[in-house]
Amino acid sequence: MARRPGPGAGVPEMRVTLGVDTHADVHVGVALDQLGRRLGCCAVPTTPGGYAHLVAWARRFGTLERVGIEGAGGYGAGLTRWLRARGLAVLAVLAVERPTRQARRRGKSDPLDAEAAARAVQAGTVIGAPKAGDGPVEMLRTLHPVRRSAMRARTQAANQLHALVVTAPDALRARLRPLSLAARVAAAAGFRPGPRLGTPTAAAKLALKSVARRYRQLSAEIEALDAQLAGPAARAAPALLAVKGVGTDTAAALLAAAGDNPERLRSEAAFAHLCGVAPIPASSGKTTRHRLNRGGNRDANRALHLLAVRRLAWDPRTRAYAARRTAQGKTKPEILRSLKRYLARELYPLLAGPSTAPAQAPPAAA
């Protein structure tokens, strides 16, 4: 391990870049000097004490200038918040899609990944500002996935209730089949199969009652979460919620992708790439083409997709645009991809906070 230079005359102060590869229980850090020379490696537990030890270790070599963290929004979220609270410059190192041939020869390990993160910071590649994680958007990021899982569970309960009705004894099937979902849930929840099951009808009633009560409980949970999500969403971006068709669910998905500090996104193009709606250039020679972007935040991509589908149902300009592109030979999936890109451009300025500017429909130009 290299040592910090002594205080002799003419010896420049060493400037240290720290790269960290994050995991659930242990973080591995590698320090580089300003010339890219490796100074050492250190593994610490994922606790405040471990974070303090890692910083103190890096500062033994010189002035700690920047910290690059791989997985800053996941395993490294705690370390990122701890460093930012103490005024250190933190950068999120994004995963490289395809390692270089030279990197493949070196193999893969936690120290090598940490060193790669530090070198990415020094080179200025695949890095970005991490999410602040200290405001209303962090509240949305925490609650929104819980609401999504409750929605999926409620849909599963509704499907199971329908399947039970289809295979129920004739009398039960005839009684429940004509009812709407809400009426079916109410009727099934009121069944009294008795303490002992002696017939298939009693067993079917118990199964229907159990699923119907589960459906009601999930509905109550979703309503409570919606009430809790409304406040942080309104504080974070009231102008976004004022756009027709943008509800709490859509706003929460887009805000969670942008973070509490949306200024970290350089432009609307960066936001579109973050949401996976920016086409990827795939041109070569005389061929000019773009391919579908399958990366980015898939929850934000889903929110933009649903908003585009809804706009096709009620917005005249969007429908006229779709009709024109259809006449040009574009398919519906291709039109939806274009609409999602337009929506990212429209909604990006509204993520930063209050705005009185009215929302505009997607441009009419192709």
pLDDT digit string, tens, across residues 96-134: 544 555 655 666 889 999 999 999 999 988 778 888 878
In this predicted structure, what is the pLDDT of residue 95?
65
pLDDT digit string, tens, across residues 227-281: 999 999 999 999 999 999 999 999 999 999 998 888 888 889 989 999 999 888 8
The residue out of 217, 236, 255 marking a domain boundary is 236
Helices 200-236 + 248-258 axis angle, to 10: 60
Tell me if 356 is assigned to some domain.
Answer: no
In this predicted structure, what is the pLDDT of residue 260?
85
Contact by Cβ (8 Å): 130, 90: yes
Tell me if 1 is assigned to some domain.
Answer: no
| Same domain, residue pair 106 and 186 | no
SS3 per-residue string spanning 286-347? CECCEECCCCCCHHHHHHHHHHHHHHHHHCHHHHHHHHHHHHCCCCHHHHHHHHHHHHHHHH
Pairing of strands 26-32, 15-21: antiparallel
Residues in the chain predicted with pLDDT less than 70, given as ranges, are 1-12, 95-107, 352-366
The residue out of 102, 128, 154 marking a domain boundary is 128
In this predicted structure, what is the pLDDT of residue 280?
83
In this predicted structure, what is the pLDDT of residue 99?
53
In this predicted structure, what is the pLDDT of residue 290?
77
What is the identity of the amino acid at 281?
P
Number of compact structural domains in the chain? 3
Range of the domain at 308: 238-350
Distance between CA atoms of residues 143 and 228, nearest Å: 8
In the block, residue with structure tokens 């530090």: 118
pTM, two decimal places: 0.77
